[in-house]
Amino acid sequence: MRSRPWAPAFPTLFGAPPSTVATAPGRVNLLGEHTDYNLGWVLPTAIPQRTQVELRLHSPEQRRVRVSSSAAPLDDPQVSEYRLGHETPTHRWLDYVQGVTQILQREGVALPGLDLRITSDVPLGSGLSSSAALLVALFRALKQALALSLSDVAIARLCQRVENDFVGAPVGILDPMACGLCQPGQALFLDTRDLSYQTVPLPSAVELVVIHSGIVHSHGRDANHTTDEPVADYRVRRGECEQAAALLGCTSLRQLQEDRTADARIAALPAPLAARVRHVRSENDRVLQAVALLQKNTLSDEDLHALAGLFAASHRSQSEDYQVSLPAIDVLVALSGSDPGIVPGAARLTGGGFGGSIVALARSGHGFAAAARIAAAYQNATGHPATILVPQAAFDPKTGEQP
């Protein structure tokens, strides 16, 4: 399905300029995959790609919402419309907007009609949180325009409810917390059990590489997809974790984290539940170990190798125990981990899986060249088109070319 590469300016669409503009970034999760809905720890950071929402309020009696999105499929009308109070799931991108206006009204906010223009360079289905970037930017725009008192954490909780209850995607709290709170250059160490968090600096010795595999995933909630596409896999994993927790007599797998006596009971779970729990527990440990390393002021070579080892182990665990990788993604990770510009082994699938992007740690200054080599080798090996999303290529003003 193709989307519009551009969108007409706000005044062209709606006859007057916007009164409010808000943005939110996409995110890349460094470690802590599929731990959030098990109330564990995550470690995301922001990517440079952002979603922008421009907004104009109508008069209070006007109940019409008009929305234009650059991510809308080409066969959608340029402007979609609905009436406040009549939000109805369509299983399409408009549900994100409808879910937001519905939840705010249910929370007692008196919304007037709205004009909205959405633009984004967070690629859809890339595992980099295009949906949460849209939701957070939209809540931010409405907060600003209507002077709502909403903290970043309150916005994240509302975003998750929109996804779970209106869009129908059973996602955790990682993405809206990350898109709402992450700063580039810093990782957000978040405990999803109580939403306490702290920022940890990313080491200057490394730079992030993020490459999209060209395989678009859908957890049933990417703005360019109908929402009845394969939501199944993510939902199945989530269900398996709930089933394992119930069999082990706990309300969430997080309860097992501190209980090292549970090993034998976990090993006795029926397949594949034991492997799923093994992933969640070991992934939580890896987040804690990575944070301990990142909190050192300067990372030695040995520390960097330890960090790389955590990335490599995380990918193995996602691929073998949690089974959310794909053969082509395993190729992309292997090529990345063995590239001379990457800290050996420091590459893993990021996000919900079944497609999407990988994240790797390059030695500072080597990121783009490494990413270019990896993308070319991957394309050769698998036939899938790779897109380098981070680092963003510097533009050479003399030649007009990327390095």
**333-362 residues near ligand GLA, rule: CB under 6 A:** 351-352
**53-92 residues near ligand GLA, rule: CB under 6 A:** none
Q: Which stretch binds ligand GLA (CB under 6 A): 29-37, 61-69, 103-111, 381-389?
A: 29-37
DSSP states of 244-259 as a string?
A: HHHHTT-SSGGGGTT-
With CB under 6 A as the rule, give the number of residues binding ligand GLA. 12
> Of the residues 36, 76, 115, 175, which is catalytic?
175
Q: Which stretch binds ligand GLA (CB under 6 A): 33-41, 83-91, 140-148, 332-340?
A: 33-41
Burial of residue 246, with CB atoms counted within 10 A of its CB: 0-12 exposed, 13-18 middle, 19 or more buried: exposed
Residues 142-181 vs ligand GLA: string with x where CB under 6 A? -----------------------------xx-xx------
d(CA 403, CA 391): 12
Closest CA to 240 of 271, 210, 195, 196: 271
Angle at 208 between CA 181 and CA 137, to 5 degrees: 30
CB of 173 to ligand GLA, least distance (A): 7
Tokens standing for 107?
Answer: 């929370």
Beta 342-350 vs 387-390: how paired, if at all? unpaired
When the beta carbons of 25 and 352 are compared against ligand GLA, the nearer one is: 352
CB of 190 to ligand GLA, least distance (A): 11
Is the CB of residue 358 less than 8 Å from the CB of residue 350? yes
When the beta carbons of 161 and 373 are compared against ligand GLA, the nearer one is: 161
CB of 300 to ligand GLA, least distance (A): 29
Q: Is 175 a catalytic residue?
A: yes
Cα of first residue to Cα of last residue in the chain, in angstroms, is: 31
When the beta carbons of 145 and 208 are compared against ligand GLA, the nearer one is: 208
Element (DSSP H or E) covering residue 140: helix 130-146
Q: Which stretch binds ligand GLA (CB under 6 A): 26-34, 270-278, 357-365, 387-395?
A: 26-34
CB of 172 to ligand GLA, least distance (A): 3
Phi, psi for 199 (deg, rounded to 5): -95, 145
d(CA 394, CA 403): 7
CB of 219 to ligand GLA, least distance (A): 6
Beta 80-83 vs 196-201: how paired, if at all? unpaired
d(CA 9, CA 402): 28
When the beta carbons of 29 and 102 are compared against ligand GLA, the nearer one is: 29
When the beta carbons of 80 and 319 are compared against ligand GLA, the nearer one is: 319
**216-245 residues near ligand GLA, rule: CB under 6 A:** 219
Annotated catalytic residues are 175
Residues that bind ligand GLA (CB under 6 A): 29, 33-34, 36-37, 171-172, 174-175, 219, 351-352
